[in-house]
Amino acid sequence: MKRSYEGIEMRRASSPSGPHWLFPTAPDEGTVWLIWLVRLRWLALFAQAVTLAFVFQMLDGGTAISTWVAAMGLLVAANAWATGRLSQRGAATSVEVFGHLIIDVMALTMFFAVSGGPDNPFTPLFLVHIAMAAVMLPPGYAGMLAVVVLVCYSALFGLHLPIHYERHSLTEATLVRLGQWLAFSITSLSVAGFVVGISRTLRRRKEQLLEAQDRTARVDRLRSVGTLAAGAAHELNTPLSTMALRLRRISRRHEDPDTERDLEVISDQLERCTWIVRRLLVGAGDPEVGDIECKPLATMVEEAVRLWSRGATLDIAVEDASKGVLVELPRIAFQQALINLLENAREAQEEAGAFDPLQLRVLREHDVGVVEIADRGVGLPDKADQVGEPFFTTKPTGTGLGVFVARQIADGAGGGLQYVPRTKGTVARWWFPQAPRRPA
């Protein structure tokens, strides 16, 4: 059974409820309208086939039946063309949607022309196309379609074949009343269903737009922070170089064992600071920096763990069950983000007075690579829903950017980040989609 990766703390904006096939989405409105026309046209073809089976004996000879079948063939051809158009890239234009509505109106006129003309109780179906044009098209095109509908309806008064009610087993009055009721029901349900469906589709697209805007705003904020971080890194680079130079001079002057041990610890920490500054200068804190690499997830984790372990006060147990899953990620940003997550786990565990090794697992679950970091710390804060928001932190000296950057990296790759509470401590689940295979 496939595992769900949506977490409470890191949940993305959800889409409206409802099946995707019923409420289609597309990058542009024209394509959405074309999808709707194709689906409604298939329903109309089914209804016309059922109607023909019910009334064919009342039509005025073979010409009427041939015209009816020809109109159905026109709709089938239009749907075949529209389906091929939808399989291509590129937005559907208003002209294309207008053309399809004209085809539908012409086919409907052909149906009415061979089945009683304006006396056909189903002529109110013309109004459905006017309503769709008002929603789908710019005002000019919608007005032109309304004129076309009016012309077609007017032409039916002079150009139509009679329908012979007397050939049916039911009386003419019964057939007319039944037709009027069906026409009203179909028109009402069609308009209501179309408007409800379109509103749901537009609401879905609006939420997708808001989600994209929110993501852009988060990235912009992160870039601003990255710019500040790069400036700070430039300022820190000079004093760090000076400290390294002075440290080498002191080591030459004092060669006693105690001083050498202290100088070695200071040198390690200084080297780590220099490493951090160097990566801030390279990436400027932006997870979209162009150092994206396609490597096994376990390898990238191993590199980051090795860097973190240099100054760590806790041990870490690493388990690799990833089966060599490949991921495509910015290497430097990934390393820094994983180090931040490990630091958070370490601090939470030390705050709880637990000094057991941290548990890190690299997994493969279907086509997803997962990094799990388990600690025995103090658990999630009271405001757990804010974990991962920029600048939110529970540490007196924290910046509130570590988890945020980790989430941005996963989000940019199509993955996610979730914090799962457990009996003692927390598990951070960080997942990324498998990199697509490239031809050799």
Cβ-Cβ contacts under 8 Å for 429 (sequence gap 6 or more): 5, 7, 370, 371, 372, 417, 418, 419, 420
The Cα–Cα gap between 50 and 30 comes to 30
CB 428 within 8 A of CB 349: no
Cβ-Cβ contacts under 8 Å for 292 (sequence gap 6 or more): 328, 329, 330, 331
- Please state the separation of Cα 373 from the chain's center in Å: 27
pLDDT attached to residue 314 = 85
Mode of pairing for the β-strands spanning 358-365 and 368-374: antiparallel
First-to-last C-alpha distance (Å) of the chain: 32
- Place 273 in a pLDDT band, splitting at 50, 70 and 90: confident
How buried is 413 (Cβ within 10 angstroms: 0-12 exposed, 13-18 middle, 19+ buried)? buried
How buried is 377 (Cβ within 10 angstroms: 0-12 exposed, 13-18 middle, 19+ buried)? buried
Among 265, 220, 233, smallest CA distance to 247 is for: 265
Report the mean per-residue pLDDT for the chain.
Answer: 77
Is residue 115's pLDDT more than 60? yes
The Cα–Cα gap between 270 and 78 comes to 72
Most confident of 55-64, 154-163, 417-426: 154-163
Comparing 290 with 221, the larger pLDDT belongs to 221
Among 74, 162, 47, 54, smallest CA distance to 112 is for: 162
CB 45 within 8 A of CB 77: no
Question: Edge to edge, what strands does the sheet with 368-374 contain?
Answer: 316-321, 358-365, 368-374, 426-433, 416-421
Cβ-Cβ contacts under 8 Å for 27 (sequence gap 6 or more): 91
pLDDT attached to residue 222 = 54
Mean pLDDT of 307-332: 86
pLDDT attached to residue 384 = 47
CB atoms within 10 A of CB 423: 6
Is residue 174's pLDDT more than 50? yes
CB 401 within 8 A of CB 228: no
Alpha helices in 157-312 (DSSP H): 172-253, 257-283, 297-309
- Place 400 in a pLDDT band, splitting at 50, 70 and 90: low
pLDDT attached to residue 162 = 83
pLDDT attached to residue 146 = 93
pLDDT attached to residue 106 = 92
Q: Which two tokens stand for residue 216?
A: 């852009």
How buried is 223 (Cβ within 10 angstroms: 0-12 exposed, 13-18 middle, 19+ buried)? middle
Q: Which two tokens stand for residue 171?
A: 């009386």
The Cα–Cα gap between 290 and 298 comes to 21
Supply the angle between the helices 126-136 and 172-253 in degrees, to the nearest 10: 20
- Please state the separation of Cα 346 from the chain's center in Å: 34
Query: Which amino acid, residue 424?
Result: K
**What's phi and psi for 159, nearest 5 deg?**
-125, 90
Comparing 295 with 29, the larger pLDDT belongs to 295
For the chain, the helix, strand and coil percentages under 3-state DSSP, each to the nearest 5: 60, 10, 30
pLDDT attached to residue 319 = 92
The Cα–Cα gap between 3 and 91 comes to 35
Q: Which two tokens stand for residue 159?
A: 């150009």
The Cα–Cα gap between 220 and 209 comes to 16
- Please state the separation of Cα 414 from the chain's center in Å: 9
Residues β-bridged to residue 292: 330
CB 161 within 8 A of CB 115: yes
Query: Which amino acid, residue 406?
Result: A
